[in-house]
Amino acid sequence: AQKVTQAQTEISVVEKEDVTLDCVYETRDTTYYLFWYKQPPSGELVFLIRRNSFDEQNEISGRYSWNFQKSTSSFNFTITASQVVDSAVYFCALSEKKSSGDKLTFGTGTRLAVRP
Partner 1 sequence: GAGVSQSPSNKVTEKGKDVELRCDPISGHTALYWYRQSLGQGLEFLIYFQGNSAPDKSGLPSDRFSAERTGGSVSTLTIQRTQQEDSAVYLCASSLAEGVGQPQHFGDGTRLSIL
Q: Give the interface with partner 1 as residue ranges (CB under 8 A).
A: 33, 35, 37, 42-47, 50, 52, 91, 93, 95, 97-109
Identify which of residues 70 and 98 has a Cβ nearer to partner 1 in the complex: 98
Q: Which residues pair with 113 in a beta bridge?
A: 12
Identify which of residues 18 and 29 has a Cβ nearer to partner 1 in the complex: 29
> Rounded CA gap, 76 and 20, in Å?
7
Identify which of residues 70 and 103 has a Cβ nearer to partner 1 in the complex: 103
> Rounded CA gap, 85 and 94, in Å?
25
Q: How far is the CB of 78 from partner 1 (least distance, A)?
A: 20
Strands 64-69 and 59-61: antiparallel
Closest to 105 in 3D by CA, of 44, 43, 29: 29
Q: How far is the CB of 76 from partner 1 (least distance, A)?
A: 19
Identify which of residues 19 and 92 has a Cβ nearer to partner 1 in the complex: 92
Q: How far is the CB of 10 from partner 1 (least distance, A)?
A: 14
Characterise 44 by phi-psi region: left (phi > 0), alpha (psi -120 to 50), beta (else). beta
